[in-house]
Structures are given as C-alpha cells and as structure tokens.
Amino acid sequence: MSLIPARFTPGPANTPYSLQFDDVYHTASGGLGQARHVFIAGNELAARWKGRRTFTVLETGFGLGLNFLATWHAWAADADRCQHLHFASVEKHPLTRHDLARVLSDWPELAPQAAHLLNAWPNLVPGIHRFTFEQGRVVLSLALGDALQVLPELTMRADAFYLDGFSPDRNPDMWSPAVFTQLARLAAPGATLSTWCVAGHVRRGVQEAGFIVERQPGFGGKRHMLAGRFPGPGPTSTGIPDSHRALVIGAGVAGTSVAERLAARDWQITLIDSADAPGQGASGNRAGVFRPQPSLDDNRLARLTRAGFLYGRQHLTQLAERGHPVRWAPTGVLHLARDAKQENKMRAVVEAQQPPDAYLRYVTQEEAARLADWPVSAGGWWFPGGGWIQPPSLCAASLAAGGTRIIPLFGRTLARLERRDGEWAALDADGHEIARAPIAILANGVGLRAVPEAAMLPVRPARGQVSHLPAASGSAPGIVVCRLGYVSPEVDGVRCAGATFVADDLDPQLRDSEHRDNLAKLDFILPGYAADYDPATLDGRVGFRPASPDRLPMVGAIPAVAPVDRTTPLADIPRQPGLFAVSGFGARGLVWASLMGELLASQLNGDPLPLERDLVDAIDPARYLLKPPRPMRGEDG
C-alpha cells in the first residue's frame, strides 16, 4: 500500500532529474513549452473542447503537474472553452507538497493555478484523489499507484490522452502494450493522443491498440512527436436524459450530498423529505466521528473509508470557501486498541504501510494518554486530520451550496413511486403527485425498504442511542476518542458518548439500559470517566442507521429482477430505469456521504468515476443478487 515519493535533483539546464528513473522530468527546452506544443496543441484542445459541455483528458504521468496546470491555464484563458474540464492522471512516485512548491515556483505565470493545486495536495496514500477547482468547473482525478495496476481500475471516456512517462528505456512499463490496451478501453470515439516519444515500438504499440498515428513537428531539440486519433464519429450521448433533472428522496447526509454534487453539474434537483428541515433522521446527531478504518490487508472497507475521508476533508474545505461552512473540528481522532493483540495489529499496519504522519501514526499508551489528557490503558492509532462533524450542519451546507438548483420539499412524505411517461412520479399517501423527474434517487435510509422497486435490497435498521453528557468548555478530552464506542469533545456544553447498535429495533424512546451500555463503553475508553454520570438523568438521542450486511454502502442503479444466476456479471443485471440508491452507510455516514454523492453524480453525468472499478462493484446494490447476505454485525467504534 505504501507510496514512495519522488526523489529528484537539479539536472542539465537545472531541469529536475528523477533519481528513481535516472531521467529528466522534461526537456531542457522547457517543460511549459513542451506541455503547450506537444500536449495542448498536439491534441487540438482549443478546437475540440469548444462548445462542449464536458471534456476529459487522461495523462499517463503526472510528474511535476505542468501538463495539468498548463491545460487548466489554457482552459481559463479560452472564452470558447468547455463548461467542465476533467483531467485524470496516474503517478507512481508523487512529489511531496514541499518539493512540488519548490519546482512550480519556476513558472510564475502558472502561480494562480499552482497555488490552488498546492493547497489541495493530498496525503500521499494510494488511490484516486479527486479535487475540484474553479467552482467545480475544473476537476483533477489523481490516481496514485503503478499505472499497470491503476489504469485497469479507471472508469471514464477520455477525449484526449497525454502520454508523458519517463523515456521507454528508463520506464518501459509506462510504454507497454498493457498500457496502450487500457488507453483504447478508456477512449471516447474520436479521442486524440499525443506524445513527445517517437520510438518505433511505441508507435507500433499505439497502432496495435487501435489508434491511427502520425509524426508531427516536435518541440525544442526533438525533430518529431506523435499524434493520433481513436476511430469514431466524435462525442456521443452518455445515455443520460438531456433535461438533467432528478428527484432525491431523503434530506440526510446521503441525500443532500448527492443533491449538491448534481447541482454542481448544473442539474435541477427536487428534494423530498417528511421532516421539516434537513438532517433530522439518522443524520441528526450533535457530533459524529470522522476518520478512516485501516486494515493490514488494505481491504475494501479500508480503501473506501480512506477515500471517503480524504475526499470528505477536501469537500468540507471547499464548502467553507464557497461561503457554506460546516460545523466541524479537526481535533484529531484517537482509536485505542481493544487489547494487546489488537494493539500489535495496529502497530503492524503502520509499520507495513508507512503512511504519512499527517494521515496516520501509531502511538503508545503513554502518548495516547497525553493526547486524550486522561489515563488510558492502551495505545493505538492517531488520525491528526480526523475529528467530529455535526451532521445537520453538513446537510444544511450542502443545500445552501446547491442554491436554486435544489428545490427542497419538506413535510412531504413519499408513499410510492410510479413510472409515468418515462419519468418517476413521487406520490403521497392520497395519490397526489409531489414531483416528478426522469431520475429518482432513494436516499431515505431505512425508508428505502418501503419502496417496492427497492425492497430486494437488504437494508436493515440499526437503532443507535447516543448519550449526552453535560460538559464544561475546555474539559478533557479535547479530541475524539474511540474504543468499541466513542466520546466526543464538548460541543455546546454537551459531550456525545455511544453509540449502541441494535438491529431491527424501531423503538424511538431513550432507554436507561442503553445509557448504561454507553457509560460502560466510556469507562472502557477513558477509565473512571463515567463515574460521575447517572444514566437515569441523562439526555440523548435515538437514530436508525441504514445498515448493510457486509458493512459497505449501497450506491448505484437498483436491480430490476430478483433472483438472477449467481454467475451473471454485475453489468449484465437488468436495472430499474432511472432508479438509484444511496444507502447502507451504517455508522460511517459522515465518512462516506460526500464521496458517495460524488460517485453517483459522476455516474449519472457520465463523468470519470472517483473510485476504482473493483470498489464501485463492491458497493453496487445488485451485488446481493450474486451472493447470500451475511449476518449483520455491529460496527467497531
């Protein structure tokens, strides 16, 4: 899982020189000039993105980021540019933020774009990192990892390719038939390709993959470059209705997140919820935990929570920059081991994966006690960028960010959906139509089970009671601490502790017995801390989390049949036309909501997906038709 950052030194003409590949990052004639001549002009971007709604570029080596920044700079200066520019790039050895800032300072004309990139630059951990700029009009998807492993996991239709790895004799994998085959898989009809490399085996390999290529005048000291085109008639329909209208059922973190992400793509959303305000159901707690869940084998849960956490951090920052701050605090999250065996595993995860300290590090019992400002009985994981989020404030910020493109209809209860004239009509209990649209998205938590078209999805309610503990401002702990439960810092005079997890229990009343359970968890987390609290006097809140048997979300198109042969490929399972689900978050709604909203919005809009294909398949709602559901388990806090 670990990434090795780029190591470089000044080379000929002060050009950055890679120590890993023993090669320069760009020609001595100038990296910016090469980006403009070989890649921007070589793909005829100004002519090809003119008047387009979206345009997608895929690059095979991010390197110093010059090609991305030059493309963004050209887009910003072009009055006839496409509405949305998507730029995807693969990089095995990314630069640290410090090194990237140092090399980009050589191109002052790119300073505005470079400043935004540096501000967003991620913790260097594997996966797809997605960033949005220019109020969402420019999107960068940076896939960190080996191209041979990463490219097969990408989902997009690229309109232009930048082939820009180190030279074939220094980095042969980047110029291999396996890479060219993936480019052909990802190519939109009529896609173009360009590269400075004219080696014979590269030209032949690109041709064998299906591209038609020719030599063109090169840049600087190079006589030639290659330019190519993938056969096809040019841009085609994505299959998404041109109206770009959708119904979203549910105004919790799932529904408001997908509504905001679609609104950012100029969709018109009607949001329906039976409550009188957003975030009143399972998303109504005062403070929820925001952190990933690593594992030694870096399994799908670990990868999904890592991706959700990192994207969520970026999204929180961008909502604030747009004037819609979420109430949250990056206090850090301390996850204590249950016992010595688990502590050894937690230490092993950090030793094996070598994550950046800013993302995750192992701490001893002594350091954990200092962080918590309270005696503890174990060490564990420290997530410096984690913290707590107030879920209703995230819901409200998402609606505000969507502006007039989101029409909320509160106090309206969906009784059923009905297909009318190619659209989904939302009807109330009296059969009156609330609203209609070609696309309907069920994000109504456990209420999804009452919709017959989605009844096959194994969403189950998990009752969760949180105890509210009176707390003085500045009292310990000032961080979130977890250990088979969690305790938050003081928020408005109250500290949240919990939470219980009781499957298929729909009783909304507070229970002293569950307060006692939460206080027992609190004592396990912070020994002696619960002694001053009487469960009979505590306030709290009960919510019903939509849980899935495998603890992974359910995001995507809803199946139209059940059952199917278990050897059926996921892509071949028939789906309800225009009907989608965003559910099954369990106790991890705050970690997943923003990314899952971005994923579904990308699917509906025909954009590059922000997750690897195996993870998209792992959360496909149709997966349960191909395997028997496992018994639902509680979730370790």
The mean pLDDT value of the chain amounts to 93
pLDDT at residue 579 above 70? yes
pLDDT at residue 23 above 70? no
pLDDT digits (tens, 9 = 90+) for 385-435: 999 999 999 999 999 999 999 999 999 999 999 999 999 999 999 999 999
Cis peptide before 536 (omega within 30 of 0): no
| CA terminus-to-terminus distance, the chain | 24
Q: Tell me the C-alpha distance between 137 and 122, whole Å.
A: 20
The fraction of the chain above a pLDDT of 90, given in percent, is 85
C-alpha distance from residue 17 to each of 5, 9, 181 (Å): 14, 5, 29
pLDDT digits (tens, 9 = 90+) for 312-333: 999 999 999 999 999 999 999 9
pLDDT at residue 35 above 80? yes
pTM given for the model = 0.94
Residues 6 or more apart in contact with residue 584 via CB below 8 angstroms = 457, 459, 546, 547, 548, 552, 553, 554, 619
Cβ(95)–Cβ(5) below 8 Å: yes
- What pLDDT does residue 629 have? 57
- What pLDDT does residue 66 have? 95
DSSP 312-366: HHHHHHHHHHTT----EE---EEEE-SSHHHHHHHHHHHHHH---TTT-EEE-HH
Q: Which fold has domain 245-282+392-459+550-625?
A: FAD/NAD(P)-binding domain (3.50.50)
Torsion, CA 41, CA 42, CA 43, CA 45, rounded to 10? 0
pLDDT digits (tens, 9 = 90+) for 506-540: 999 999 999 999 999 999 999 999 999 999 999 99
pLDDT digits (tens, 9 = 90+) for 481-509: 999 999 999 999 999 999 999 989 999 99
- What pLDDT does residue 221 have? 77
Q: How many CB atoms lie within 10 A of CB 534?
A: 9
Residue 47, amino acid:
A
pLDDT band at 237 (very low <50, low <70, confident <90, very high): very low
pLDDT digits (tens, 9 = 90+) for 380-399: 999 999 999 999 999 999 99
Residues 6 or more apart in contact with residue 112 via CB below 8 angstroms = none
Q: How many CB atoms lie within 10 A of CB 80?
A: 10
Cβ(265)–Cβ(462) below 8 Å: no
Q: Which fold has domain 8-229?
A: Rossmann fold (3.40.50)
Helices (H) and strands (E) in the chain, counts: 16, 32
Cβ(539)–Cβ(468) below 8 Å: yes
| Helices of type H across 564-618 | 589-605, 613-618
Residue 397, amino acid:
A
Q: Nearest CA to 541 among 503, 505, 515?
A: 515
108 or 18: which carries more pLDDT confidence? 108
C-alpha distance from residue 162 to each of 43, 180, 215, 405, 436 (Å): 8, 12, 15, 35, 42
The domain ranges of the chain are 8-229, 245-282+392-459+550-625, 330-387+461-547
pLDDT digits (tens, 9 = 90+) for 143-192: 999 999 999 999 999 999 999 988 888 888 899 999 999 999 999 999 99
DSSP 477-505: P-SEEESSSEEPPPBTTEEEEE---EET-
The CATH number fitting domain 330-387+461-547, selected from 3.40.462.10, 1.20.1250.20, 2.60.40.1120, 3.30.9.10: 3.30.9.10
Q: Tell me the C-alpha distance between 251 and 242, whole Å.
A: 25
